[in-house]
Amino acid sequence: MNDPPSFEGSYHQSVEDAPRQFVNNFAQHIVKGPEDETSQNVTFHILNCSNPDLFEEMPVLSSNGSLTYKSKPDAFGEAILEIKITDDGPDDPPDVASGNTEQCTITVKPVNDPPSFTMGQFPDYISEDSGYRKVIQWAKDIYLGPVNEQDQTPGFVVNNDNPDLFQSSRISRRKVIWNMKQLPMNLGLQKLVSV
C-alpha cells in the first residue's frame, strides 16, 4: 500500500529589491514513506498565495524542498503560501499519494531608498557686496522614494571649493530656499556640490 508523504513547512525573510532568492530546505523533514517507498518522487504544489502582487517571479518549490522566488521592485510585505506534497505512487484507495498541507510564510522587509533631485535655476554670478541673496527652487524634481517614504523630510548637504566667499549659507529644507550672504570685498569662483 502506498503511504502518504509528509513534510514540515518553514518561513523565509528577505529585503526589498533583493535579487532572486534561493532557499535550501524551505520544506523540511520530507518523508516519502516507509523504506519500500524511498525511490518515489515527491512534488510540492503551491495551492494558494495570499499576496501574489509581492512577486515578480512566483515562489516555486523543487522536489528537494528548495524554494526560489523574486519580489517585485519596491515591493514589501508578507505572503502566506499554502503548500501540499504528493508522491508518484498509486493513489487508488487504499493507496494514498496525497500528503499533508502546510502554511508557510515569506516576508519581504522594506528598505530606505535613496532620494534624488535635479538642479534648478541658479545664478551664474553674484555681484560683489550684494549682501543677502535668496535662491528659490534651486533644487527640483525631488524624489523621496516609493509611497511608504513620502512622509520623510529631505535634507541637503552642500560642499563648495571656495567657502571663504560667504559669510553665511543656510538652506530651508521644506521650501528649497537657499539663503546666502557674501563676505564684503570678496571676488572669486565657487563650485557647488549638493548631495
Q: Write the pLDDT tens digit of every residue in 111-127.
A: 998 999 888 776 655 66
**pLDDT, tens only, 15-72:** 999 999 999 999 999 999 898 898 999 999 999 999 999 999 999 999 999 999 999 9
Pairing of strands 42-49, 77-87: antiparallel
Predicted TM-score of the model (pTM): 0.72
Domains (ranges, CATH) in the chain? 6-109 (2.60.40.10), 116-194 (no CATH)
